[in-house]
Amino acid sequence: MSDTFTQSRSDGRVHNAIDIMAARGTPVFAAADGTVARLFWSERGGITLYVRGTDEHTIYYYAHLDRYAEGISENKFVRRGDVIGYVGDTGNAGAGNYHLHFAVWTVDDPKRYWSGTDINPYPLLMGKR
């Protein structure tokens, strides 16, 4: 795994996430306790999942999933380590480019879970803060 947080993307965007390469179907685990805020299909992210942390201000975003884990639904509480989905290549990942696009941000307005201040998840996952 490498830190891809500041890499450039199309249309002048910055990545603001990390890509974790893995084989198709590899389980994706919840990074923290929280509630599934939204299950969503998007052109860029494909099959996506948003988890709102227990602090109500931190969002964990998982994209390019192949599918959701059985029993995952909006408003379901998940614990850190629960399987929530499986690695895929949906959205703009590119066919066969299997990986998890993982982003973290904090929101000022919990009703606007899709928008906030980006946090680089790489140091968090590597145990560095």
Per-residue pLDDT tens listing for the chain (129 residues)? 555 645 544 465 555 788 999 999 999 999 999 999 999 999 989 999 999 999 999 999 999 999 999 999 999 999 999 999 999 999 988 898 899 999 999 998 878 888 888 888 876 765 655
Q: Which residue has the tokens 């299950």?
A: 39
Tell me the whole-structure pTM to 2 decimals. 0.86
Comparing CA positions, the residue from 43, 5, 40 lying closest to residue 114 is: 40
Q: Which domains does the chain have, with CATH numbers?
A: 10-125 (2.70.70.10)
